[in-house]
Amino acid sequence: GLPELERVFDTPTIDLPPVQQRALAILRELACRPALLMVDEPTSGLSDFDAHLLLELLREAARRHAVLVVLHNQKQAQRVADRVVLLAGGRVQEEVSAESFFTAPQSEAGRQFIASGSCAVPSPDAAPETLAEDVAPPPPLPLMAQMAMQAAPESLGPRGFTWVVPGKLAGTPMPGVVFDIDYDLAALKAVGVTCLITLTEGDLAQEPLARHGLKNLHLPIRDREPPTVPQITMLLIRMEALLKKGEVLAVHCLAGIGRTGTILAAWLVSNGLTAQEALRRVRRIEPKFVQTTEQEEFLQQFEDALLRKLSA
């Protein structure tokens, strides 16, 4: 369905239309023979024709691999699914064959979804007094789920904090830029962060870090600019060494979006994603990540440098 891909293998991914970018991302993952290929909303924002091409690619992939696709579009789901899992209100409401689901759903949530495209299912933590009279309160959660929800506030971190890899790598604004620095550092410590990657031109004060048992690694980068390829290469080597030691990293600049997003996306590129896919992923977490054209172009330059090194 996408024979034109053969003619664009030498074209930077960032210059390709979205359908080709996503097709290449899928093919790259398939080349690694995954036990399970997971694809989240692959047709989002595509025209009907481009969505059809991408779904046909996934149908073909499913002949040889286990494929899990998240979709909200019922027609598209009908076209590609062998089985359907309906997730609503924080629970699996139904898991049946696609034919059974779309012709005779067994759950009330399934019937609502087929009829309207959505489900009126309360969230697991909904207070009974806030629900409409005709909506039943959700059943009690399993004990482990209750414990996880009770721990949720501690996982939030300071304002602007976002996990890219939960429990491993995050982005955050500069501690102290909005609230008191001790408040922000305590919040970072509470979520498990042990080391900050500082990208502002001036370094963080060391005394507050020490008070909270934290440390940092400083690479000064000018505001709204990217690092150089040698700079990012050395920084990522040091970050990987810290991660291997069990450190939990939070990258920050001033606002925690431009330089921070660029470094986080570069880390994803170094771990096998294309520049365009890395950019898409970090922006799904925080739409403002990577602010300037220069920062976007740098990610492609970094990908190209890695490919040249691998082919040398």
- Each residue's pLDDT tens digit, 173-189: 999 998 899 999 999 99
Average pLDDT over residues 61-66: 95
Q: Among 18-27, 119-128, 292-301, name the most confident range.
A: 292-301
- Of 32, 119, 195, 253, which is the active-site residue? 253
| More confident: 6 or 103 | 103
Tokens of 132: 């409409």
Sign of CA dihedral 16, 285, 310, 292: positive
* Model pLDDT, residue 306: 95
**E strands in the chain:** 37-40, 67-70, 83-88, 91-97, 162-165, 169-172, 195-198, 215-218, 249-252
- For 266, residues 6+ apart whose C-beta sits below 8 A from its C-beta are 232, 236, 278, 298, 299, 302
Encoded amino acid at 273, one letter: L
Rounded distance between C-alpha atoms, residue 258 and residue 145, angstroms: 35
Q: In sequence order, which residues have a C-beta less than 8 Å from that of residue 24 and are 6 or more positions away? A: 5, 13, 16, 274
253 in active site? yes
Looking at residue 8, its pLDDT comes to 84
> In this predicted model, what pLDDT tens digit does every residue of 109-167 receive, in sequence order?
999 999 998 888 888 777 788 888 877 788 887 776 766 656 555 567 899 999 999 99
Contacts 24+ apart (CB under 8 A), 34-37: 34/65, 35/66, 36/65, 36/66, 36/67, 36/68, 37/61, 37/65, 37/66, 37/67, 37/68
Decide if domain 3-116 falls under CATH 3.40.50.10420: no
Tally of CB atoms within 10 A around 144: 8
Homologous superfamily (CATH) of 155-311 is Protein tyrosine phosphatase superfamily (3.90.190.10)
What residue spans in the chain does CATH classification 3.40.50.300 cover?
A: 3-116
Average pLDDT over residues 56-66: 95
| pTM of the predicted model as reported, rounded to 2 decimal places | 0.64
Please indicate whether residue 128 or residue 223 has the higher confidence score (pLDDT): 223
Residue intervals of the chain classified under CATH 3.90.190.10 are: 155-311
